[in-house]
Amino acid sequence: MIRINDIIDKMFDFNTDADVDIVDRAYIYSARVHDGQTRLSGEPYLTHPLEVAAILADMKLDAVSVAAGLLHDVIEDTHATHEEIGDMFGPEVLHIVSGVTKLSKLPFDTALERQAENLRKMLLAMADDIRVILIKLADRIHNMRTLNFHGNESKKKKIAQETLDIYAPLASRLGIYWIKKELEDTAFMYLEPEEYERIKTLVSKDKAERETYITAVVSLIKKEMEAAGLECEVKGRYKHFYSIWQKMKTQELAFEDVYDIIAFRIILDTKPKCYEALGILHALWKPVDSKFKDYIGRPKQNMYQSLHTTVIGPSGERIEIQIRTHEMDSVAKSGIAAHWSYKEGNRPDEKVSRQFAWIQDLIENQENVKDPNEFLENVRIDLFPDDVYVFTPVGDVKALPRGGTPVDFAYLIHSEVGSRCTSAKVNGRIVPLKYELQTGDVVEIITSKGHEPSRDWLAFVRTVKARSKIRQWIRTQEKERSISLGKEMCEKAFRKHRLNYNVFSKSEDMQTVLEQFNIKTGDDLLASVGYGKITPLQIIRKLQKPDHPEEEKTESSAGKAAEQVRRKKIRAGVVVRGVDDILIRFGKCCRPVPGDSITGYITHGHGVTVHKIGCVNAVSVNPERQIEVEWNEEIKATYPVKIHVLSHDRVGLLADLAVNISKNGANIISVNSRTAENKMVDSYFLLAVKDIAHLDKVLSAIRKVKQIIEVRRTDG
């Protein structure tokens, strides 16, 4: 176990004036309040805050950060209070610890809502003080390192998926690549254990031969640089497992075809020497034009700078090489932590704060998003940018994610410009609104007064701001229509029962009914009727009581009989909260099966459609039409699911796949297989499975078939 003295020694290594007194006091307090608590590993709980503090010290953060790391769990997991932390350690430590603390004590309807609100709170705190997220990342690293002690496999996968979706991209946006790589590889190990082991085995297979190759290339580069009078450091490194797997998957490559498993790095003293080294390399080996990127002239948003080039090496193989200065290398390792150096009591450099304005943008874009699915989807989009740079007609540069369109550009200029956008000119020529902008394009937006956004734009816009504004407009339109429809339905139903809806809406009874439905306003009640969440008859029943006990008894008997009929009719594997006997359909876009997190959407006249949480089509639907659903464990049925198998071509392949699928109890509904020119086979199977565990068993069996490259579940 790491000791507090080890942490203090690390702090003194980079700052002899470090205020270690606050760290010492935080350690003593943390040890006292966590006394008697243990981790799942059986170790004292104190090992966790100590490990987190050690990671922060390795990142060369200030004493306040390290102290906050030691205290990051005390408010959530012990009897410690906000007031006590503030009194003992000051407002700065309290502010950071409060930002890191989860919303564990607040009630939420779903786990997804809790996750979204925790993330929203963390992002807000991070926009105010970046040290919040640095502590969260250190906390996540140690939790991932000890995830094997968690007994629940489903929980492990959930934590690993969240790590891959949120925390690794955050580390990347902050430029802390060693954290990104460790989090990705560890999450990969739990999410795709067989694929992880396969990549690990393939990488280690010819390691001795690769080490010889690395030594030879490093020696050759160094010799060329020295001959030109350039002193430099040259390193060869392996790509991490997750990025190798990602490349194989996205580009449909066999392991042998991934050329940049090894990458080389040249580190020099100055920026001009970097460009000089690039010229020497391009004179020595032929460059691959499409693979050159100048991140020195145009740094990434996280301040990463480097020249990236790919050349045809000495034996005709491709070699990826990065060229940077020592300072750039330091930033590439530590990212924001290298710049966000808090001298005790001072705020970070204003220039650095401006470069991380994307954090503030991310917060502002999500301010009005209530639906947890949409919020999480938007954050993921914001965390995965691959920017292109375009110009306004007056020469201002604007950054957009790759695939960005004129509509995204219009919303970037101003929300009103986006909403009124009718067409666009790129480099002086009219282009479709879904045209994908390229770096260097000059974009001019043509607007029309009174023009409104189109729902179709959601199919091609790439920025969160554009998506949010379009969805906001759609929600407003749908709500207005639903209020109008709901009012019409209520007036008609009330007349049928000799009641007047307009009189009711102004009476005290309206407030009582709103409270019973847990709805705030009359318009919201009408919208719920228009959407189909509430029927006018349900409102009337809240108002009416039977005049005679016999009627009540008859109604009660009829209700019981109806309930028995309903019970007989329910055959779907999904239960809709608060609604009986409703038509259930499963979205063909995502094909959910038991074990998937699911949500329901009320359709117009076709019951409830069930989607996987996070499904693109589900996220784009108005959250007002969302309804809670859950799997009905009493129903034993099979569900269709689509899988993609990528393999090398060989005789008997399909027969072997069919045997393995059948042997594991899954039924093949349909199969579509095609062989490409490179002798790779794409096979798409529609299978009937019982649940996620059954599907995982089938996928594991398929992976053992000879010549299989990849097996995965697909949407659609």
Same domain for 190 and 215: no
**Residue 100, amino acid:** V
Q: Is the pLDDT of residue 341 over 50?
A: no
Domain boundary among 491, 515, 544: 544
Model confidence band, residue 364 (pLDDT cutoffs 50, 70, 90)? low
CATH, residue 396: 3.10.20.30
The Cα 578–Cα 402 span in angstroms is 43
The Cα 695–Cα 678 span in angstroms is 29
Same domain for 668 and 598: no
Give percent of the chain above pLDDT 90. Answer: 24
Same domain for 49 and 154: yes
Domain boundary among 436, 462, 488: 462
Q: Is residue 317 part of a domain?
A: yes
Write the pLDDT tens digit of every residue in 375-412. 666 665 556 556 677 888 887 777 787 788 999 999 98
CATH, residue 331: 3.30.460.10
Same domain for 210 and 112: no
Write the pLDDT tens digit of every residue in 271-291. 999 999 999 999 999 998 878
What distances in angstroms separate CA 218 from CA 223, 269, 288, 379, one per listed residue? 9, 18, 20, 40
CATH, residue 37: 1.10.3210.10
Q: Is residue 115 part of a domain?
A: yes
Report the mean per-residue pLDDT for the chain: 81
Same domain for 477 and 455: no
Same domain for 167 and 137: yes
Same domain for 225 and 81: no
Q: Which residues contact 451 (CB under 8 A, 6 or more apart)?
A: 419, 420, 421, 422
CATH, residue 675: 3.30.70.260
The Cα 337–Cα 60 span in angstroms is 7
Write the pLDDT tens digit of every residue in 15-66. 788 888 999 999 999 999 999 899 888 899 999 999 999 999 888 888 888 9
Same domain for 119 and 153: yes
Lookup: tokens for 210: 């690769």
Q: What's residue 107's pLDDT?
A: 59
Write the pLDDT tens digit of every residue in 583-609. 788 888 888 988 888 888 877 656 788
Q: Is the pLDDT of residue 122 over 90?
A: no
Domain boundary among 511, 544, 577: 544
Rounded to the nearest 5°, which phi and psi values hold at 20? Answer: -75, -10
- Residue 128 CA from chain centroid, whole number: 21
Catalytic residues: 76-77
Rounded to the nearest 5°, which phi and psi values hold at 585? Answer: -125, 150
How many separate domains does the chain show?
A: 6
Q: Which residues make beta-bridge pairs with 599?
A: 611
Q: Is residue 369 part of a domain?
A: no
Q: Is residue 139 part of a domain?
A: yes
Directed axis angle between helix 82-89 and helix 63-71, to 10°? 150
Same domain for 71 and 139: yes
Lookup: tokens for 66: 């390290």
Write the pLDDT tens digit of every residue in 442-467. 899 999 988 888 888 988 898 878 88
Same domain for 151 and 9: yes
Same domain for 588 and 529: no
Residue 68 CA neighbour count, 13 Å, CB half: 29
Q: Is residue 354 part of a domain?
A: no
Q: Which residues contact 53 (CB under 8 A, 6 or more apart)?
A: 7, 23, 27, 66, 67, 69, 70
Q: Is residue 364 part of a domain?
A: no
CB atoms within 10 A of CB 504: 17
Same domain for 298 and 220: yes
Q: Which residues contact 167 (CB under 8 A, 6 or more apart)?
A: 136, 137, 140, 183
Q: Which residue has the higher pLDDT, 641 or 604?
A: 641
Q: Is residue 391 part of a domain?
A: yes
The Cα 530–Cα 486 span in angstroms is 4
Residue 576 structural domain: 557-630
Q: Is residue 689 part of a domain?
A: yes
Q: Model pTM?
A: 0.58
Q: What value, to the nearest 5°, has the Cα angle with vertex 46 and ends 98 and 40?
A: 100
CB atoms within 10 A of CB 476: 11
Rounded to the nearest 5°, which phi and psi values hold at 576? Answer: -100, 125
